[in-house]
Amino acid sequence: MQNFQELLETGLKFHGHKCPAMPMGLKAGLAAMKTLGVERSKDKELYIKAETGKGHAAGCFLDGLMTATGCTYGKSNIQKLYYNKMAFTLIDTKAKNAVRVSLKPDFFEKALNSPFVQKRKAGVPPQDVEPGITDLLVDRIIGLSESEFLDIGEVHTVDFKEGKALFDAKRCDKCGELTFVNKLRMTADGKVVCIPCSGYTD
Q: pLDDT digit string (tens) for 43-100? A: 999 999 999 988 767 899 999 999 999 999 999 999 999 999 999 999 999 999 999 9
Mean pLDDT (whole number) for 17-26: 95
Average pLDDT, the chain: 94
Check: CB of residue 14 under 8 Å from CB of residue 63. Answer: yes
Q: How confident is the model at residue 1 (pLDDT cuts 50, 70, 90)?
A: very low
The CATH label, of 3.40.50, 3.30.70, 3.30.60, 1.10.3210, for the domain at 169-198 is 3.30.60
Q: Tell me how crowded residue 142 is: count the other CB atoms within 10 A of its CB.
A: 15
Where b means 16+ CB within 10 Å and e means fewer, 103-124 reads beeebbeebeeeebbebbeeee
- For residue 80, give the amino acid letter: K
Architecture of domain 4-157: 2-Layer Sandwich (3.30)
pLDDT: which is higher, 2 or 197? 197
pLDDT of 201 higher than 90 = no
Q: Domain limits of the chain?
A: 4-157, 169-198
Check: CB of residue 113 under 8 Å from CB of residue 66. Answer: no
